[in-house]
Structure 1
Amino acid sequence: MYSIADLQTIIAQTLLQRDFPTEPSNLYDPIRYFLSIGGKRLRPVLTLLATDLFGEKIEKSLSAALAIEVFHNFTLMHDDIMDEAPLRRGKDTVHKKWDTNTAILSGDAMMITSYQLLSKSQTDNLSEVLHIFSKMALEVCEGQQLDMDFGNSPSVTEEDYLQMIRLKTSVLLGAALEIGALIAGANPKDRKLLYEFGVNMGIAFQLQDDLLDIYGDPKKFGKQIGGDIIENKKTFLLINAIRLTKGKEEEKELKGWIKRHANYNVDEKINAITSIYNKYGIKTLAEEKKSFFSDQAFQALEKIDVPANRKQVLITFTKGLFVRES
């Protein structure tokens, strides 16, 4: 059995050893730079944990785990362009350090590299591994498009939002786990349960992020508290606030803040909308929904037919993420 720290170290060291070509430098230097600026490597760790869960050596799924991590970083590089983000993990984003065209092309090269890595997986079921990965990759794109569409949509429901985060965030966690299990030789039933565990876990994580953006400790969160409010981002909290204030006196105030794009005090906006959240119990609603999905995740994990002691590292890892403050 491996510890989480052991697996994170293995992933980080193997990524640094990845031999990218030197030329053209403006294609590969941004990739080396982006992969070197850190990250918790949670998704590839899940792939290795899934393989270990079913008693197989993690070396068999290491290439697939790297594919998951490179693909994830490709999506981040392109997300930064779409979000016009200046920083990623406290460092300049690629499109700021180089330029937008370079970031697009380097991101494309990362996506292709992820498939190259995946093709080296030590398994007799490579076609199925590729199918799971490709389905996930397309769903992530669908989720990102929905997220962008929500910005201009006058009405986004809670169901719409949960579907968006399932696609944009959660299916990658599910696929990371399912691929690790498939390489380990797990049966279809257990693979499906592990996928469900990952997807439900991912939704709960995103709901936790929505809560942390408003109610997190600024010293631990690592980002500005209230950033989602400033950006009018349609999170679980805002969507439910819009729903619950309909026809109430706070509806006008909430919509007034959403429509204001300039000439306002940021702290005043954050405090005003947070007060509405507090009055209508939005925090409790989000916590209850997070608990629902985390419960669904652990129920799926419990049904997997492996000894309970083999699940403990995955359980501890997941519970630690559910109570994180940053």
Structure 2
Amino acid sequence: MRSFKDLVTDFGNHFAVRHFPEQPSSLYEPNEYFLSWGGKRIRPVMCLMGNELFDEIHADTWQLATAIELFHNFTLIHDDIMDQAPLRRGMETVHIRYGESTALLAGDVMLIRAYEYLNKINPQYLHRILSLFNTTAREVCEGQQLDMDFEKMESVSLDAYIQMISLKTSVLLAASLEMGAIIGGASEGNCRHLYDFGKNLGIAFQVQDDYLDAFGDPEKFGKDVGGDIRQNKKTFLLLHALEVATPDQRKELEKLMQQNPADKVERILAIFRDCNIDEWAKSLKDKYLQTALAHLDAIAVRSVRKEPLQELANFLIQREY
């Protein structure tokens, strides 16, 4: 059994090839440019881990993991266009460097390339893989639309936000694990527990991400904290604060979000602390993490085979960056 870090290295070496033709370069170079930045590779590596939980990693799983990583990058290119983001990982985004029309086409062809890799796997489980892949792709689009809808809404419930995060972020993590498990020969019951492990882990991961953006150490987090607060993003923290704040605190929060003063981040963080939002977020994260680990524990394989996934869960949730 290989660790997450070892598999990240192995997949990085496997993925470090040219995935697109040379011509027309105006279409394909933007994708090669985008893919050259690297990334955490969490989703494809979770696919490999889902396979290795039940069997030796099959050659088809590398094709599937490649498809998953290309699909994820397709969503990032289109997300950057929708968010009008100038930078990603410190680099010019594709639509800024090459124009929006080219970026749209580059994202489209990235998705098509993902399906070409899927088409290389063994037909005996291709139908199940395609069904789950397509369902997940649709759900990711639904989650992105809900995220955009929420930006225009005055109030969003915590349950609605969790549903959005599940669709936008968690289902791809969950499906990556399950698709790898399908190739590994896992039973339906084991597949379901593994999917639920990934889905709950994804929600805990997002809670930790929201927490770090507000309360993280800038030197460890790698960027200034408070970015979500400056943009009035409806995060777990803000939604709960609006629920539990006193009338005066809620009025102050709404005023700060509308007026955007220079000390906005500091003043909102003070309200968060007064409402114990930091401690609440830790408890919520732990709730979803423990649910995830309970599903992992229920999978009918030897405990030693689960250790890399337990280590991954702890790494993702306890990270400080």
For Structure 1 versus Structure 2, the TM-score category normalised by the shorter chain is over 0.9
Secondary structure at 1:125's aligned position in 2? helix
Say yes or no: does 1:306 pair with 2:301.
yes
1:132 alignment counterpart = 132
Say yes or no: does 1:25 pair with 2:20.
no
Cα offset, 1:123, TM superposition: 5.4
1:258 alignment counterpart = 257
Deviations 1:226-252 (A, max 9, x none): 000000000011111111125x21121
Cα offset, 1:120, TM superposition: 1.4
Segments of 5+ residues of structure 1 without an aligned counterpart are: none
AA matched with 2:254:
K
1:173 alignment counterpart = 173
Cα offset, 1:112, TM superposition: 1.1
Correspondence list, 1:18-167, <5 A = 18-122=18-122, 124-167=124-167
2:191 alignment counterpart = 191
Give the conservation status (yes or no) of the 8 Å contact 1:44–1:69: yes
Secondary structure at 2:205's aligned position in 1? helix
Cα offset, 1:3, TM superposition: 2.6
Give the conservation status (yes or no) of the 8 Å contact 1:38–1:89: no
Give the conservation status (yes or no) of the 8 Å contact 1:61–1:122: no
Q: Distance in 1 between matches of 2:157 and 2:19?
A: 46
Q: Return the match for 1:290 from 285, 303, 306.
A: 285
Q: Distance in 2 between matches of 1:166 and 1:309?
A: 29
Q: Return the match for 2:317 from 305, 312, 322.
A: 322
Mean alpha-carbon deviation: is it higher for 130-139 or for 19-28?
Answer: 19-28
Cα offset, 1:57, TM superposition: 2.4
Q: Distance in 1 between matches of 2:189 and 2:121?
A: 22
Q: Distance in 1 between matches of 2:250 and 2:40?
A: 40
Cα offset, 1:146, TM superposition: 0.5
Identity of aligned residues (%): 48
Deviations 1:244-301 (A, max 9, x none): 125x21121111011125xx31xx1001100110001111111111111100100000
Cα offset, 1:58, TM superposition: 3.8
Cα offset, 1:91, TM superposition: 1.1
Mean alpha-carbon deviation: is it higher for 1-10 or for 135-144?
Answer: 1-10
Cα offset, 1:122, TM superposition: 3.4
Q: Distance in 1 between matches of 2:5 and 2:160?
A: 36
Q: Distance in 1 between matches of 2:230 and 2:224?
A: 10
Give the conservation status (yes or no) of the 8 Å contact 2:204–2:286: yes
Deviations 1:9-48 (A, max 9, x none): 2222222214410111111111111111011101100000
Give the conservation status (yes or no) of the 8 Å contact 1:123–1:183: no
Deviations 1:73-115 (A, max 9, x none): 1111111111111111111111111111111110011111111
Cα offset, 1:138, TM superposition: 0.3
Q: Distance in 1 between matches of 2:161 and 2:33?
A: 33
1:227 alignment counterpart = 227
Give the conservation status (yes or no) of the 8 Å contact 1:44–1:176: yes
Mean alpha-carbon deviation: is it higher for 294-303 or for 93-102?
Answer: 93-102
Cα offset, 1:178, TM superposition: 0.4
AA matched with 1:188:
E
AA matched with 2:250:
E
- The CA RMSD measured in Å over matched residues stands at 1.2
Give the conservation status (yes or no) of the 8 Å contact 1:122–1:183: no
Give the conservation status (yes or no) of the 8 Å contact 2:249–2:271: yes
